[in-house]
Amino acid sequence: MPNTNANTSNSNHIDTVKRSCPTCEASCGLVLEVDRDENRVLSIKGNPDDPRSKGYVCAKSQAFNYVYEDPDRLRAPVKKTKDGWQEISWEEALSLAGKGLRGIREQYGKDSLAIYYGEPNGHNAGTNLYTQMLMETINTERFFAPANLDQLPQEVALHLLIGDGWHYPVPDIDRTDLFICMGGNPVVSQGSLMGAPDVKSRLKSLNKNGGYSVVIDPRRTETAQACDQHLFITPGTDAYFLLAFLHEVFAQGWQKLGHLSEHIDGLDDLRELAANYSPELVADITGISPEDLRGLVKRYCSTEKALIYSRIGLCTQKFGTLASWLVYVVNIVTGHFDREGCMMFSRPASGQFEPTDEVTPLLRGRFHARSTGFPEVRGLLPASHLGKELAYQGDEEGNDRIRGMLTLAGNPVISVPNGKLIREGLQNVDFYVAIDIYINETTSQADVILPPIHQLEHTNYDLLWSTFSSTNFAAFSPQVLKPDPNGLQQWEIMLQLLGEMLGTPWQVLDDFMADGMASQVAAGLQKNYPDISTEEIKTAMGEERRYERYLDIMLRAGPYGDKFGRETGIDLQQIIDAGGIMTFGPLKPQMPEFLRTENKRIRLVHDCFLEDIPRLNQGLAEGLYAKGKFLLIGRRQIRDMNSWLHNIHAYIKGKNRCTLLMHPEDAQQVGVSCGKQVTIKSRMGEVVAEVTVSDEMMRGVVSLPHGWGHIYSDSQQALATGRYPGSSCNDLVDDDQLDIPSGTSIVNGVEVELSALA
């Protein structure tokens, strides 16, 4: 196995360690000063030698060390007793957890178990590599994840267009001349699904070089404030705007397919659809004038290096899939797709998206939620329906209800609509196991909690985030601190829990995974290297049970790999020897070779999209929202990462950040001012929040940040529940309202009523 020791310069037992930041997708390079005697981190700074972040870091760079030091973080497994939580050994914890879930599965069937898989898992390479085995082995239809609270509409659109829902096009932001952002705030997020550290500086460079930047959003976000132009748009109306955008493109004859012209179908169908949506027709519903729309279309179509980037604001609305599809389509039909300075594709060193002739259908409707009948999409049931599924009692004998629950690094009570119903449901399942480092609003209902060791205590690789980065890179992070000798990494917990559930030694499962990966890698290489065998791959993999052996094989087989001695290329040790970071040049065109569609074609129009057009037209004819209601949207904040970081003093000190942003005229109408409290009421319930008055909000639109609502006394996060628990915007989101093609929650454009708190 590779030598993963950190680079050190011994002086009074103080070492310097370089690694990437594991808190968000940007994966900025860090330099850590480590006291080896006390086994603690003394400082965290930006790494000026990192070729991607170049010394830049944001406030979240300190977060993972704060979490490590948090006294409320679990260091050992616990079980719930009548006298409270009790620490237990790993042997007892895994046996108790495994047997509890196994008994339910054997007695009531695989779908009597439900899984919620949280967003933090994406930051852990070992977890990423063992997730497929976990899912396929448990094989429950009741699988829930934040994807349909986030990017699932983009996955659906991409799968139908290019054949792979995970192969996201990203803005080639450093080489573009026109950056248009819809429903995203990359200055704060550091580039969600675009992996670009220090976006604000990149936008400044764009401006200095004569470029132009535009944000279209119901709020004048931090990104909008850094750009040249901002256009307010009514929440939920982006699909209308984009159809009118296409209308103008076709009306002016500005369509240009470029190098993809011989590989695109459905252009006439798209033109016919867009012809029904003129800029004048959609002006009232979107709030964007025909003049502004036409001016933007002209600028975009006359700029060779231009792009339209969209994110969560477009996904989590009434027409999330239509809007996401139309963004990609606009880029494609104007020649701003898969070209330098436009929307392009990463080529990760781990090799997930290499060319293949394999074509897979969009997985949709193979099974349905028992409580609502809503179809699965890409293996997921709507997260918004988790509470309903937990409340579902099955038939008269109680069959087909959820009896066992497993959550992995997730807090759906806060992060999912109707969290109160989820919490009630968790109290009523027969057995609940959580893999988590906190006793939070969700895991407080568990019977057993299995806490993995911390990021500082094990190695990591930016496996997921390198797949949609604005730069092709590979980053491996060394272990920084000595772990608890009795601790386990999350992949080890998952593997051993599966072993206990199946009554099979976990080593047998690991061998099975090794055999499968060796066979898969060999098969993928044999087209170009027919002498490669499964046995050779297995031998190269080694026998030491570490996730890194799988990573090394993927890197060697990947686009920059040495193909097991047959080419000059990389392996994991070379990345380590290079200081943990390697880059592989700017993004390059990949299409049509990388398409995973039938005959390598991009089919612009699919029934999945057309079937939702009547709903879109109904909204245009009847209005999307009831008159007199305010529209609630979420927002990102630089010191937040969903619900993770609210138990850290450095991030919650100062003013309350869980406030309702309101336009001054709206505040006057309601009779409130800055610092006053307002009741926010929807069909689902009501919450109270402090008001912040700001003209950055569109009239009639208000904003409450995601991830707050730490109101439950049995959560053992003292700071989160103490100083500023905040209010959960998800307690206001209607769990019946979904984007139909994807099953994604509509969290932007929630109709609410406001009243001043007496």
Q: Mean of the pLDDT values across residues 206-226? A: 97
- Per-residue confidence band for 1, with pLDDT thresholds at 50, 70 and 90: very low
Place of tokens 């076709």: 250
Could you say which DSSP state residue 696 is in?
A: T
Domain 78-150+386-450: top CATH class: alpha beta
Domain 625-756: top CATH class: mainly beta
- 174 neighbors 470 (Cβ within 8 angstroms): yes
- Encode pLDDT of 524-548 as tens digits: 999 999 999 999 999 999 999 999 9
Candidates 345, 654, 372, 603; CA nearest to 472 is 345
- In sequence order, the 6+-apart residues with CB closer than 8 A to the CB of 202 are 173, 174, 196
Question: What is the per-residue pLDDT for 639?
Answer: 83
- Encode pLDDT of 655-682 as tens digits: 899 999 999 999 999 999 999 999 999 9
- Per-residue confidence band for 652, with pLDDT thresholds at 50, 70 and 90: confident
- Per-residue confidence band for 630, with pLDDT thresholds at 50, 70 and 90: very high
- In sequence order, the 6+-apart residues with CB closer than 8 A to the CB of 496 are 94, 98, 488, 506
Share of the chain above pLDDT 90, in %: 94
- Per-residue confidence band for 380, with pLDDT thresholds at 50, 70 and 90: very high
The C-alpha atoms of residue 333 and residue 257 are separated, in whole angstroms, by: 5
Judge whether residue 86 has pLDDT over 60.
yes
Strand pairing class (169-171; 343-345): antiparallel
Q: Where in the chain is the domain with CATH 3.40.228.10?
A: 157-352+601-610
CA atoms within 13 A of residue 677's CA, in its CB half-sphere:
10
Question: Which value, to the nearest 10 degrees, does the dihedral of the CA atoms of residues 395, 400, 403, 407 take?
Answer: -140
- Looking at residue 206, its amino acid is L
The C-alpha atoms of residue 618 and residue 73 are separated, in whole angstroms, by: 50
pTM above 0.85, yes or no: yes
Q: Where in the chain is the domain with CATH 2.40.40.20?
A: 625-756
- 663 neighbors 732 (Cβ within 8 angstroms): no
- Per-residue confidence band for 6, with pLDDT thresholds at 50, 70 and 90: low
Bridge partners (DSSP) listed for residue 406: 115, 433
- Per-residue confidence band for 758, with pLDDT thresholds at 50, 70 and 90: confident
The C-alpha atoms of residue 64 and residue 57 are separated, in whole angstroms, by: 13
Could you say which DSSP state residue 716 is in?
A: -
Q: Mean of the pLDDT values across residues 496-515? A: 97
Backbone angles phi, psi at 93, to 5 degrees: -65, -50
CATH fold for the domain made of 157-352+601-610: Dimethylsulfoxide Reductase; domain 2 (3.40.228)
Judge whether residue 46 has pLDDT over 90.
yes
Decide which of 394 and 332 is more confident. 332
Judge whether residue 2 has pLDDT over 70.
no
Q: Where in the chain is the domain with CATH 3.40.50.740?
A: 78-150+386-450
